[in-house]
Chain A
Amino acid sequence: MPANDIGRLLRGTAAGDRRSFAELYDETSPYVFGILLRMLADREQAEEVAQEVYLQAWRTAGSFDERRGSGWTWLAMMARSRALDRIRADRSYGRALDRLEAEPATAVDENPGPDPDRETVLGNRGERARAALNALPEEQSQALRLAFFGGLTHREIAERTGIPLGTVKTRIRTALTKLRDALA
């Protein structure tokens, strides 16, 4: 599926087309569910939040604007936001952070997603993202992952890792810049 097809499916969803919504779910749910599992470290909560995300997508697809970003980013950021809401009010927060620190490049092996032989835009982009992150110095990739998947502020990362705040900001900015270049 071309990258812009997610945008097309979101437009169809906004028009109330249930087939577009079903296709959107089929194409993106393994990736959304993977994000939620990574952030929540709890399969049951990941299921709950995934349901919330897609209900929100069905309800608010009309607010998607392709001029401001891709469909996938719109959906992924929505999933991240809902997951952060959940983990900030849940005991799994600490567990998820511990996991992020212990296994920064962790992968959930159970119930693998799409057939690895089936090339998808999101799958290919994910491979590139992981390759770029793995190429980063560990302190940079770890700071970026704590900020993105753990939802920690720069200051919280500094406090948690004992690294000066300025250094944390620099590491994250550097990591983002390299990642942007790798995904461009």
Chain B
Amino acid sequence: MNDERFLELLQESLLSGLPPEEEKALAEELERRGPAGQRFRRELEETLGGLALDARAVAPPDHLRARVLAATEGPAGQPSVIPLPRGRPWLPWAAAGIAAALALFLGVSNLRLRDRADRLAAEAQEARERLAEADSAAVRLADLQSDFDLLSGPGSSVHALAGTGPAPGARARVFLDPLTGRALLFAYDLPLLQPDDVYELWAIRDGTPRAAGTFRAGAEGRARLEIADRALLKDVEALAVTVEPAPGTEAPTGDMVLISSL
């Protein structure tokens, strides 16, 4: 390789690199030329080092120094990993700040909204319960008013039933209002029944008992029954209450607990 070719390859290698085969040829030529070739290479490299100073010095920003020196906090020769800023260095911080503030705002707002929604839901549930209680109370009041009207009606009649058999202390009253045709039974001190049993009212006419309705007594032994088929009470001879298997029977089969004679 002549000097001109050697210089051509050397300058191109240092400035922009060579294809692998030419780099190999250059390396072999440097080896062949020995210290003189290495010295020439060094002189050319130092010239490029000087050429680099054609660019005027410019002071880098202080934050760059801080970042670079922070890299030496790790073990010698192994710098700590420092995130390299991309684009505008303040932008990630600004974006992170905005995102954090927005997240905080949204989080607080979300918590407030959720808390308010929970409270509104609880208040709505409470209102529904109170409304249901009011409706129930209104129904009960209407029933009581209706019952009172029946009991206080000028043509109303009352018929007493007395306890018998297993319930000697029981008693009942049947109220009839000929003007409205309504009939109500109120019973007291009835024994508790087995879960599968009910009390059944019988209207007896011509010696034949007819089922007039079933009912259960409350914990205090009280019961109320409105007799739906009012015709059953027409020309009735007697009323009786027996204990029957639920949901009731066509003819009395169990113990009689109440009996009246009209």
With an 8 Å Cβ cutoff, the count of chain A residues facing the other chain is 73
Residue A11 CB within 8 A of the other chain: no
Q: Which of A34, A44, A151, A184 contacts B56 (CB 8 A)?
A: A34
Residue B95 CB within 8 A of the other chain: no
A102 to chain B: closest CB distance in Å? 15
Q: Which of A14, A35, A47, A183 contacts B55 (CB 8 A)?
A: A35
Within 8 A of A (CB), among B103-132: none
A16-B77, A173-B8 in contact; A114/B45 too (CB < 8 A)? no
A79 to chain B: closest CB distance in Å? 8
Give the size category of B's interface with A: 35 or more
Residue B87 CB within 8 A of the other chain: yes
A54-B71, A58-B71, A58-B79 in contact; A73/B46 too (CB < 8 A)? yes
Task: Decide: B46 and A147 in contact? CB cutoff 8 A.
Answer: no
Task: Name A178's closest neighbour in chain B (CB-CB).
Answer: B47
Task: Decide: A126 and B48 in contact? CB cutoff 8 A.
Answer: no
Top 4 nearest A-B pairs (CB, nearest first) are A16-B76, A113-B57, A73-B49, A126-B53
Q: A34-B57, A55-B82 are in contact. List 19 more A-B contacts (CB 8 A).
A: A17-B76, A35-B52, A37-B55, A51-B64, A51-B82, A69-B42, A69-B46, A77-B48, A79-B52, A111-B58, A111-B59, A126-B54, A128-B50, A153-B17, A169-B12, A179-B50, A180-B47, A183-B47, A183-B50
- Complex A-B: 30 CB contacts under 8 Å: A16-B76, A22-B72, A29-B65, A33-B64, A44-B87, A46-B60, A47-B64, A50-B60, A54-B71, A58-B77, A70-B46, A73-B45, A73-B49, A77-B45, A77-B49, A108-B55, A108-B56, A113-B59, A126-B50, A126-B53, A148-B48, A151-B16, A153-B16, A173-B8, A173-B11, A176-B47, A180-B43, A180-B46, A180-B47, A183-B50
